[in-house]
Amino acid sequence: MRIILLGPPGAGKGTQAKKIINEFNIPHISTGDIFRKNISERTEIGVRAKAFIDNGQLVPDDITIDICLERLTYKDCENGFLLDGFPRTVPQADALQEFLSKRELSLDAAINIVVPEDVLKRRLSGRRVCVHCGASFNIETNPPKLEGKCDFCSSDLIQRSDDSLETVNERLEVYKRQTQPIIDYYSNKGLLKNIDGYQDIAKVFEDICKTLGRDPK
């Protein structure tokens, strides 16, 4: 399966990604996670990306396309992958298309998680993420079993600096301006699957599995 996950910040892409990769046994490729890892390791890419991420802007296409397409050449992507947070612009979608076409590969689905904007803002303000594995929790809607600790690896949970109200508003505007157009792009290719993301996490996952033609385990 080669799947991409679309949806605005806070739609639940990361949360569903963790479940999808278990079900389909494919690697989870999150450009946001790759950037955060580079930032924490203070690499050159990390330093360049940080300035954009902190302001709620997208990282420029040249950097983002390079790191994502490079990751797709790893051996673990041979049997498929789940892209979470890429593509986010039309040039990124074109670059992915070119990469796949050259290899005579194609996407199976573009899953678009749809959630009302006021719900997104509430979710993002309550989001807490694991410093180690990146898992997302929510102090209101999806609390960890033990306060402040990750269910999966017991590491500390923190609030992402770009989840501040001001940056969230900017990210939602950027989404509408730069990412919304790729919904039409995948719709025109017949790949778009809209999923109602304003349901509990298990139900959203069930709907995603159904749309991919599979009964969840």
Q: Which residues here bind ligand ADP, judged by CB under 6 A?
A: 7, 9-15, 31-32, 35, 52-53, 57-59, 64, 85-88, 92, 123, 126-127, 136-138, 141-142, 162, 171, 197, 200-201, 204
**Cβ of residue 25: shortest distance to ligand ADP, in angstroms?**
20
Residue closer to Zn ion, measured from CB, 51 or 153:
153
Q: Are strands 157-158 and 127-130 parallel, antiparallel or unpaired?
A: antiparallel
Query: Can you read off the two tokens belonging to residue 125?
Result: 């303000």
Q: Contact 140/111 with Cβ under 8 angstroms?
A: no
Question: Is residue 10 part of an annotated ligand binding site?
Answer: yes
Query: Is 128 known to be catalytic?
Result: no
**Cβ of residue 73: shortest distance to ligand ADP, in angstroms?**
17
Neighbouring C-beta atoms of residue 81, cutoff 10 Å: 22
Sheet holding 2-6, edge to edge: 28-30, 81-84, 2-6, 109-114, 192-196
When asked if residue 133 is in the footprint of Zn ion (CB under 5 A), the reply is: yes
Dihedral in degrees, nearest 10, Cα atoms 175, 171, 165, 133: 100
Neighbouring C-beta atoms of residue 201, cutoff 10 Å: 15
Query: Is 171 known to be catalytic?
Result: yes
Q: Please give the residue whose beta carbon sits closest to ligand ADP in the complex.
A: 32
Q: Which of 13, 50, 71, 123 is catalytic?
A: 13
Q: Which residues are registered as beta bridge partners of 5?
A: 84, 111
Query: Is 42 known to be catalytic?
Result: no
Q: Contact 40/46 with Cβ under 8 angstroms?
A: yes
Residues carrying an active site annotation? 13, 88, 127, 160, 171
Binding-site residue positions for ATP: 10-15, 127, 136-137, 199
Task: Point out the annotated binding site.
Answer: 10-15, 31, 36, 57-59, 85-88, 92, 127, 130, 133, 136-137, 150, 153, 160, 171, 199
- Residue numbers in the known binding site for Zn(2+) are 130, 133, 150, 153
